Amino acid sequence: MNVSQVSYFTLSAYFDIGLFKYVVFLVIMCVYMFIIGSNVLLIAVICVNRTLHEPMFLFLCSLFVNELYGSSSLFPFLLVQILSDVHSVSVPLCFLQIFCLYMYANVEFYTLAVMSYDRYLAICHPLHYSTQMQMSKVSRLVVFSWFIPLLNIIVMISLNASSGLCGNIIDKVFCVNYYVTKLLCSGATASNVYGLVYTCSVLPSLAALILYTYVKILKVCFSGSKQTRQKAISTCMPHLASVLNFFFCSFFEILQSRFDLSRLPAVLRIVLSLYFVTCQPFFNPLVYGIFCVGTNKVS
């Protein structure tokens, strides 16, 4: 295919399900409405309740805003595609969706890492917590967790968008950078090198930070009083559950992108591909609503 002829991508993972598509549409719509309603509700609770204007809940607010942003980058597009008979997307819109979804994933990871650092200070250094986690520092950490991913995604998209396309078939139900990269005529050498450097340096560093903080927190739990253990469990378990769920989601996404899963049923492949963007926005409000905001347990 000539480079100049590529103006749209065909999403080949969709298949005809007849009238059942209206049932799928309603299910996806209900999931999206729950995500929007639950995240907006928790943001409103944190903003209105002055007793929740503490670092942990402000980081949570940033996390919930990211959930709204990430799910809104996918669900409206998905709902339109479900009812459509032609499953295609223009090249600019595809790159925009890649930008939004990868921005969401990066901000999620950075925010979870920042929250683990916050919990580490609260549990392991409680006497110095108020001085080390002032609102000015909280604001800088929130900006950091959004600004660094923004720079990373801009560089990644710029490297890909500047290359010509020699294909337009994406075997997914939405745009994914890995599949677009395989369609670039140049082989995306610069993009691959940049992605490899970023993946092997920044992301393991964030994972190491999370692991380190929880090793320290566990030490305090085992050596501290019963009250200390209860405080650590009440404030850390929701975050730990969210981290494990995010890593689980990421594993499924990497599994799909790097390995041939064509032998799996098409429905299962679609569910696995949507799991990454659906589960966190759906899962986090439930966990934090029950264990943090609902119980009003603060550090």
What is the predicted pLDDT for the residue at 32?
94
Return the structure tokens found at 103. 């921005």
Question: For residue 298, is it within any domain?
Answer: no
C-alpha dihedral, 16 to 20 to 21 to 25, nearest 10°: -160
Domain with 23 in it: 3-293
Question: For residue 202, is it within any domain?
Answer: yes
Q: Are 20 and 56 in contact (CB under 8 A)?
A: no
What is the predicted pLDDT for the residue at 271?
80
Strands 88-90 and 8-11: antiparallel
Question: For residue 38, is it within any domain?
Answer: yes
Question: For residue 208, is it within any domain?
Answer: yes
Q: Which of 63, 44, 45, 46 is nearest to 110 (CA)?
A: 63
**Residue 67 burial (C-beta neighbours within 10 Å; 0-12, 13-18, 19+):** buried
Per-residue tens of pLDDT for the chain, all 299 residues? 444 467 888 888 888 778 888 998 999 999 999 999 999 999 998 888 888 888 888 999 999 999 999 999 999 999 999 888 888 898 889 989 999 999 999 999 999 999 999 989 988 888 888 888 888 999 999 999 999 999 988 888 888 777 777 788 888 888 888 888 888 776 556 777 777 788 788 888 888 999 999 888 888 877 767 776 777 777 788 888 889 888 888 877 777 766 766 677 777 778 877 887 888 898 888 888 776 544 454 44
Number of independent structural domains in the chain: 1
Return the structure tokens found at 75. 């669900």
Question: For residue 227, is it within any domain?
Answer: yes
What is the predicted pLDDT for the residue at 248?
84
The CA radius of gyration of the chain, in Å to the nearest whole number, is: 21
Compute the distance between CA of residue 46 and CA of residue 289 in angstroms, rounded to an integer.
11
Question: For residue 31, is it within any domain?
Answer: yes
C-alpha dihedral, 251 to 292 to 47 to 245, nearest 10°: 0
Compute the distance between CA of residue 110 and CA of residue 202 in angstroms, rounded to an integer.
10
Compute the distance between CA of residue 278 and CA of residue 182 in angstroms, rounded to an integer.
25
Domain CATH number, residue 154: 1.20.1070.10
Question: For residue 15, is it within any domain?
Answer: yes
Compute the distance between CA of residue 278 and CA of residue 260 in angstroms, rounded to an integer.
22
> H helices of 49-163, where?
55-83, 91-124, 129-132, 135-161
Return the structure tokens found at 242. 């969210």
Cα 81 off chain centre by:
22
Question: For residue 299, is it within any domain?
Answer: no
Compute the distance between CA of residue 209 and CA of residue 211 in angstroms, rounded to an integer.
5
- Taking the model in full, what pTM does it have? 0.88
Type of residue found at 221? C
Distances, alpha carbon 187 to alpha carbons 5, 70, 94, 184, 195, in Å: 18, 28, 19, 6, 13
What is the predicted pLDDT for the residue at 261?
67
Distances, alpha carbon 10 to alpha carbons 34, 60, 85, 154, 259, in Å: 29, 37, 12, 24, 21
